[in-house]
Amino acid sequence: MRKTGRNPVLLVLVALLITGLSTTALAASEGGEGEEGGGTEATTTTIDSGLAPAVDAAVDAGPPVEVDWTYRYMVPTGLALAAIVVLIVSIKYFTDVVRKRYRIVEE
C-alpha cells in the first residue's frame, strides 16, 4: 500500500479509536447517576407511619465467588505465549531482514 493510501486509513482508525474510547468513558461516568431507579442510595424519612416491610431488604453477602480455572490459568498462559511469539518473530525479522542490509566491508 502506498503512503498516500495509508494515511487516510490510519486517520480513520485513529478517529474510530478515539470516538470509541470517549463514548465508553462518557457512558461509564453517566451510568451510575440517574433518576430512573438505578441509584444505590437509601432514602430515609422522619415521618413515622407505623408500617414495617414485609421482607427484610438487607442481603447478606456470601463468600466471594472464585473465578473459573480458565480465567485464572489460560488467560495468563495465553498472554505469556503471545509475548514469547512476538519476541521470537521480532528476533527472526532482525536476523533475516535487517542483518542482510548491512555487510562488513573488509579492506
pLDDT for the residue 97? 83
Instruction: Give the integer Cα–Cα distance in Å for 37 and 15.
Output: 35
Provide the b/e sequence for 85-96 (b: ≥16 CB within 10 Å): eeeeeeeeeeee
State the first-to-last Cα distance of the chain, in angstroms, to the nearest integer.
Answer: 40
| Total number of domains in the chain | 1
Average the pLDDT over 21-35 and give the result. Answer: 64
pLDDT for the residue 52? 77
Residue 46, in any domain of the structure = no
pLDDT for the residue 78? 92
Instruction: Give the integer Cα–Cα distance in Å for 20 and 14.
Output: 10
Instruction: Give the integer Cα–Cα distance in Å for 6 and 14.
Output: 12
pLDDT for the residue 53? 72
How far, in Å, are 2, 60, 71, 85, 89 from residue 98 at the CA level? 22, 63, 39, 19, 13
pLDDT for 61-95, tens place per residue? 788 888 787 778 888 899 999 999 999 999 998 88
Range of 86's domain?
69-102
Residue 73, in any domain of the structure = yes
Residue 77, in any domain of the structure = yes
